[in-house]
Structure 1
Amino acid sequence: MAELTRLREDSGLSRAEVAERIGSTDTTVWRYETGLTRPKPSDVAALTDVYGVTGAARETLVQMAREARQRGWWHRHRQTLKPGFDSYIGLEAEASVVRSYEPLVVPGLMQTEAYARAVIEVTTVTHAPPEVDEKVTVRISRQQLLHGPGEPIQLVSVLDEAVLRRQVGGPKVMREQLEHLVDLGKLPNVEIRVIPFSAGAHAAMDGPFCLLGFPEPGDLDLVYLEQAASGLVLEDPDEVRRYTLMFGSLTAMALRADASAAFIAELAKKCSNQR
C-alpha cells in the first residue's frame, strides 16, 4: 500500500524503527509497502497507531486492508455470487473457527457435490447451467478449509433435524450426504450437533447464521447472515455477542456429537431402503 510508505516517510521513521514498534521485521514492513504481502487489518491498525493516524483516515486504511484480503481465488467468480457472499468467502478463509446454525440445508462447507448441485439448481432458478456449474465449483472449493493445506479451520455446526429429513436430490443423494456428514464428524476439527424436533422451540428460530472467529487476538468475531438475494456481515460487538449467546443456547439443547452421529447414521440407513 503506497499510502503506508507515505505515512512512514512523513513520520520520519525508518522501516527498522517501525518494525521494532509493531513487533515485526523491516522486511515485513517493506513487503507491506510494496504490496508483496497484504497486511491484515490488525497490522494496518498497528501501523496507523505508530504514525498517529486517527479517525476516519485510520478507519479507511483498515477497511482497505480488510477488502484487499477478502479477494482470492473466488474473486473471479463474483459475478455469479450473491452480493456480499464473495466478501464472506474471504473472511471465512481468514477465520480459524466457524460456528454455524442451519435450519433447512446442510451448510456449504459440508455438502457433497451432488447435494450442492441439487440445492443450487432449485434456489437459483434464473441461472443458466454454466452459472450453476460455477456456483458448485465455488462451494466445493471452499471445503479445502476443512482439510488443508495449512491449518484447517475448526468447524462447529448445529443442524436442525429438518436439515437431515428434507429429501434433497432424492434418496440416493440424501443418503450419500448423510454418510458424508458422519465421516466429516470423525475429523478432529469438525463437530456436528443435531437439535431434534423433540427439543421444541429455541432461540434461533428466526433463521440461520454463522459466527467467524479469527486467529489474531485483535481481530473481533463477526456474524454472517445470508438471505435469498444477498448476504450481510455484522461487526457490531453487541450484535456479535447476541449471536454468540444464541449459539451457546443451541449447543446446550443439541444432542452430543456422538449421539448426533448415531442419529444421522440411522437416517442414512432409512434412505437406503427408499427408491
Structure 2
Amino acid sequence: MRTPTGRQLRFGAELRKLRERAGLNATEAGQLLGIKQAQVSNMEAGRVGMSADRVRQIACHYDCSDTPLIQALSEMASQRTRGWWEQSRDLVPSSLLDLAQLEHHAHSLRDSTTARIPGLLQTREYALEIFRQAVIELSPPDIEHRLSFRIKRQAILFHEDEPTPYKAIIHEAALRMKVGGSTVARQQLQHLLDMSDRDHITLHAITFDAGAYPGSGQSIHYAHGPVPQLDTVYLDQAHGLLFLDAEAQLHKYRTLFSRIEAIALPPEKTQDLIHNVMREL
C-alpha cells in the first residue's frame, strides 16, 4: 500500500477531529457506522478513500451540523486525481510533493520571508543559486530536479482562468541580498515588479526601519482552504518542511500575519522600494 499523501493524511485527521468532537472513541464510531474499529483507524490514517456520500453519512452519525465544513470535506474526498507532482515522486523529497499538492488545492496563499524571495516568485537563475548553496550539497541532477519542480509549482500563479490569489510580504533584506550577483539580483527584482502588476498578486515590503517585528526570525507560509478549519501553515526549516493545522496554531499564524501586514509598506510604496534597490545595484 502506498504511503498516504499529505492531503490524504489531512483528510483522515479531519475525520478524527469530527469523531472526537462527537465524544466517540474508534470502537463506538465503528458501531455507529457498521464497520470495524480497524476500518475507522484506517480512514483516519488516510489509508482508504471514500465517496462524498460516505463523508456526509459519517458527519451525520457524528452529529456535525457545520454544513460548509461537511461540503468541503466531501469535495476533498472526491478530488482523487493525481497531479503533475506525482511524476517527481522518486526525484524530490515527499514533503515537496505534499507542498505542491497543498498549493494546487489552496484557495489563496500568503508568504512572509526575511532573507529570501519566496519560492513562487523566484526566477530560474535565482532559484538555481539557492539550490547551489544548500547546506547539504546537492548533486547536479538533484539540483535540476529541484529547480524544475519549483518552476512547475509556480504555474498556479499563471492559470488563465483561475490563478491562485497570492500575497507576499518580503523584508528589505531579501530585496537587497545579491543572490547570484548583481545581474541575477536585478532580474529577480524586475520579475517581482512584473508579477506585482497582476491583479491576483499583492506584494508588501518591510523596511529595515520597521525594526523587530513578530515572526521576523522565520519564513512563514499560509495556505487558505475552502473553510478556515482546512487552512494549513507550513514552515521551511533546516530539516525540511513542517506542516501545521491544529486550530490553535492556525489562529496564532492568522494573528501573526495580520500584525506583520500592519507594519508593511502598501503595494505602491513596495514597488517604489524595489525600484530604488534596483538603481543601487
Q: Could you say which TM-score interval applies, normalised by the shorter chain?
A: 0.7 to 0.9
Runs of 4+ residues deviating >4 angstroms: 68-71
**Structure 1 residues 44, 235: CA separation in 2 closer, same or farther (over 3 Å shift)?**
farther
Match of 1:16 in 2: none
**Structure 1 residues 176, 228: CA separation in 2 closer, same or farther (over 3 Å shift)?**
same
Residues 85, 230 of structure 1: 8 Å contact kept: no
Query: Residue type of the partner of 1:261?
Result: Q
Deviations 1:176-217 (A, max 9, x none): 000000111110000110000000110012311111112x33
Deviations 1:242-267 (A, max 9, x none): 11111111111011100001101111
Give the fraction of aligned pairs with identical amino acids, expressed as a percent.
28
Match of 1:157 in 2: 168
Match of 1:123 in 2: 134
Deviations 1:94-139 (A, max 9, x none): 0011011011111110000100101111116422111111111111
- 2:180 is the counterpart of 1:169: yes
Does the residue aligned with 2:180 lie in a helix, a strand or coil?
Answer: coil
Q: 1:53: how far off?
A: 7.1
Does the residue aligned with 2:167 lie in a helix, a strand or coil?
Answer: strand
- 2:276 is the counterpart of 1:257: no
**Which aligned pairs between 1:175-194 and structure 2 lie closer than 5 A?**
175-194=186-205
How far apart, in 2, do the equivalents of 1:198 and 1:252 lie? 14
**Structure 1 residues 49, 120: CA separation in 2 closer, same or farther (over 3 Å shift)?**
same
Q: 1:70: how far off?
A: 9.1
Match of 2:244 in 1: 234
- 2:233 is the counterpart of 1:223: yes
Structure 1 stretch displaced more, 106-115 or 227-236: 227-236
Q: 1:80: how far off?
A: 4.0
Q: 2:254 aligns with which of 233, 244, 257?
A: 244
**Structure 1 residues 124, 39: CA separation in 2 closer, same or farther (over 3 Å shift)?**
farther
Does the residue aligned with 2:243 lie in a helix, a strand or coil?
Answer: strand
Q: 1:76: how far off?
A: 2.8
**Structure 1 residues 71, 227: CA separation in 2 closer, same or farther (over 3 Å shift)?**
farther
Aligned length: 226
Residues 97, 213 of structure 1: 8 Å contact kept: yes
Does the residue aligned with 1:159 lie in a helix, a strand or coil?
Answer: strand
Q: 1:231: how far off?
A: 0.9
Does the residue aligned with 2:133 lie in a helix, a strand or coil?
Answer: helix
Match of 1:132 in 2: 143
Residues 154, 189 of structure 1: 8 Å contact kept: yes
Query: Residue type of the partner of 2:156?
Result: L
Q: 1:84: how far off?
A: 2.1
Match of 1:49 in 2: 59
**Structure 1 residues 90, 201: CA separation in 2 closer, same or farther (over 3 Å shift)?**
same
**Structure 1 residues 172, 46: CA separation in 2 closer, same or farther (over 3 Å shift)?**
same
Residues 205, 270 of structure 2: 8 Å contact kept: yes
How far apart, in 1, do the equivalents of 2:139 and 2:91 lie? 10
RMSD: 2.9
TM-score normalized by the length of structure 2: 0.72
Q: 1:227: how far off?
A: 1.1
Match of 2:279 in 1: 269
Unpaired segments ≥5 residues, structure 2: 1-29, 35-48, 64-72
Query: Residue type of the partner of 2:252?
Result: R
Residues 221, 235 of structure 1: 8 Å contact kept: yes
Match of 2:209 in 1: 198
Q: 1:228: how far off?
A: 2.2
**Structure 1 residues 39, 81: CA separation in 2 closer, same or farther (over 3 Å shift)?**
farther
Query: Residue type of the partner of 2:123?
Result: T
Q: 1:233: how far off?
A: 0.9
How far apart, in 2, do the equivalents of 1:44 and 1:213 lie? 25
**Structure 1 residues 101, 71: CA separation in 2 closer, same or farther (over 3 Å shift)?**
farther
